Amino acid sequence: MEISKIKDFPVNSKSLKEVREFSKEVIGQSELLRDNMDELVLAISEATQNIVKHAYKDNQETTDKMQIKISFKNNKLEIGFFDKGKPVVEEDIKHRSLDDIKPGGLGTYFIQQIMDEVVFKEATGWHNNLVLTKQY
Amino acid sequence: MTYKISRDGDISTIYLTGEIDMDVTDKAKEFIMPVIEEKKEVHLNLKDVEYMDSSGISILIESHQKAMELGTRVVLKEISKSVLKVIMMAKLEQILILE
């Protein structure tokens, strides 16, 4: 079964619920992905949150849109996030140590736990393109 | 997210319902922290929380730490399956008080 869905969302925290609804709808189309529904929705929501929280940290009133693309082909799930916020410096992305118990810093850890690969790619017309993949 | 607070003797219970994400973090802190500051034991009932992300987990950590500072405690009660999964992914089941 092949899936390929794209949707734009306003860049703000109110979009998170809508992003989750979109994710559930797409993931629900595959029986294989459905078993991982909660974890995948969490990873997608966390990555979206990072765009709002970090890429648009100094531009919270933006009217920009971010785009999410979910594809499933040859048992490989690929989730792309596109935004026009502040370009991400990959070296700066790190989750906190789990032994250092304090609020914050867990979103990236969750994404890394759930997905096989987390990489930033180049995408024409966008400032950031995060790609999450998982092989089934 | 919606909430209800009930007080019974030395225990205050906050019942949370719905989804707890970055969008409701500030609102959640606004009603949870003052209850902890009353220095009674606080029970956070999570039975009807359908979704919690890292922002929600941050609230649980902050609540726990605030209570410890004030010499009281926050106990997580009737944790829904989806929330428990996230708590365990963060390896917080031995840190937070779960009952």
The one-letter amino acid code at B93 reads: E
Q: How many CA atoms lie within 13 A of A133 on its CB side?
A: 11
pLDDT at B14: 98
Burial of A124 (0-12, 13-18, 19+ CB in 10 A): exposed
Nearest to B56 by CA among B89, B12, B11, B94: B89
For chain A, domains (ranges, CATH) are 3-135 (3.30.565.10)
Structural domain of residue B88, as residue ranges?
Answer: 2-98
What are the strands, taking DSSP E only, across chain B?
2-8, 11-20, 41-52, 74-77, 97-98
pLDDT in tens, B17-40: 999 999 999 999 999 999 999 999
Write out pLDDT tens, residues B32-88: 999 999 999 999 999 999 999 999 999 999 999 999 999 999 999 999 999 999 999
Give A89 to chain B, closest Cα distance, Å. Answer: 21
- This prediction's pTM: 0.94
With a cut of 70, list the residues of chain A below it in pLDDT. Answer: none
Q: How many residues does chain A have?
A: 136
Q: Which residues of B touch A (CB under 8 A)?
A: 19, 21-23, 51, 53-55, 57-59, 61-62, 65, 82, 85-86, 89-92, 95
Which CATH number does the domain housing residue B31 bear?
Answer: 3.30.750.24
Q: What is the pLDDT of residue A92?
A: 77
Domain count, chain B: 1
Pairwise CB contact (< 8 Å): B61 & A103: yes
